[in-house]
Amino acid sequence: MERRAFLRDAGATLVLVAGGRVRRAWAQGVAEIGDGPEYEPWRTWREDARHGPLALVRAAIISSNAYNSQPWLFKVSAGQIELYADVRRNLGAFDPYLRELHFSLGCALENLLLAAGAEGYGTTLDVPSGPLTADTGAAEPQLVARVALSAGSPASNELYAAIPHRHTNRNPFDAERPVPAAFVDALARAGAVDSDVKLFLFPGDAERARLADLIASATTTLFQDPAVGQSTRHWFRRTALEMRERRDGVLIDATAPETLLSYASMMLTGRLFGLIAVRDRYDRAQTIRAGRVWQRAHLLATARGLAARPANGAVEQIDHERRQQHDPETAAALAQVTGDPTWQPTFMFYMGYATVPAPASPRRAVKDVVV
């Protein structure tokens, strides 16, 4: 069932109904980018190249990130940009090891590096090593990456051009329209850039059905823990006014049309499933690099006219089982799918052709994320 069905007391419009199905509301025919100041970063991200390295931050902040928590801070100088984890913006029990937080930072880093190349900067990247550990409640920002800037030649590409058009699409996709084999091949090549990160792709019907059932079941179990629902509730916005004031989180639109659709059925409208795995799920540098692979994959899908949506409940349940010291049943189930237990899943998604345009998510202004 849809994870947000567990957040009724947070103002979600999703409610449980008979047979494990859900009522899900979604926007119909909305504009890709809204009109308010909270959407301004999507419209103006390329207008400020004259501001030097700050233009790279403008690209970074419109990247993919978990629950639109935007857990980033940047320190900018003429020759360097430092990326910090704003650990105060963590997802609590939903993300007990800050894995999804650091994955989100990897997405931002990929946008930043793509913009650097397009704006004529050479880059040297340094990501300090270290393990991901349980959230200790620390409030101080933590340095996760340093990008040294040098003179280079501008080199744009289709991924850079897709940055302002990449949005998560939570609507059903066109279940009758298959994903072309040529795109699957291109996506596989785009993901084959790191010896410690691997992209698994599953276009077959039987594979997709197996994964959809696994993800849906894991998500149900995950949100049976009240602490998980409590931690995510903080990021739901009940009104457009609240969204405008906060400029983060996910809007639950009580005025949108509704339909009956199970979570597994929703996923199966996507004709391609994917899984990003690493050698060590709780290695910080590998998690950040995995985030970069997802950002690249989502941008490629956008550039080629496809829609994409994360479906990461099974990996989140792996974290939950570890935190609760339970048997690693979900990790074992995913190892049966990949056929190689030495690769540890850290992110899952599905892709297909959109039936409804995806709206942009709000973003905080650059002045609010630069320290």
pLDDT at 253: 65
Rounded mean pLDDT, 61-83:
97
Residue 32 pLDDT grade (very low, low, confident, very high; cuts 50, 70, 90): low
pLDDT at 142: 95
Q: Other C-beta atoms within 10 Å of 241: how many?
A: 10
**Quick check: 49 pLDDT over 70?**
no
Residue 183 pLDDT grade (very low, low, confident, very high; cuts 50, 70, 90): very high
Alpha-carbon gap, residue 75 to 82, rounded angstroms: 5
Q: With pLDDT > 70 as the criterion, what percentage of the chain qualifies?
A: 88
Instruction: Identify the residue with better confidence: 258 or 207.
Output: 207
- Which among 153, 110, 47, 83 is positioned nearest to 299, based on CA atoms? 110
**Quick check: 114 pLDDT over 50?**
yes
**pLDDT per position as a tens digit, 302-343:** 999 999 999 999 999 999 999 999 999 999 999 999 999 999
Decide: helix, strand or coil at residue 125: strand
Give me the residue label for tokens 């947000």.
4
Helix axes 284-303, 181-191, angle to 10 degrees: 150
Alpha-carbon gap, residue 99 to 182, rounded angstroms: 32
pLDDT at 151: 92
Rounded mean pLDDT, 209-234:
96
Residue ranges in the chain assigned as alpha helix (H): 40-44, 54-60, 99-118, 158-162, 181-191, 205-222, 226-233, 240-246, 263-268, 284-303, 313-323, 329-338
**pLDDT per position as a tens digit, 254-270:** 445 455 579 999 999 99
Decide: helix, strand or coil at residue 234: coil
Alpha-carbon gap, residue 186 to 260, rounded angstroms: 34
Contacts of 224 (CB under 8 A, 6+ apart): none
pLDDT at 7: 38
Domains of the chain and any CATH numbers:
3-32+165-352 (3.40.109.10), 37-160 (3.40.109.10)
pLDDT at 46: 86
Q: Other C-beta atoms within 10 Å of 44: how many?
A: 12
51-55, 226-230, 322-326: range with lowest mean pLDDT? 51-55
- Which among 250, 229, 231 is positioned nearest to 239, based on CA atoms? 250
As a whole number, the mean pLDDT across the chain is 89
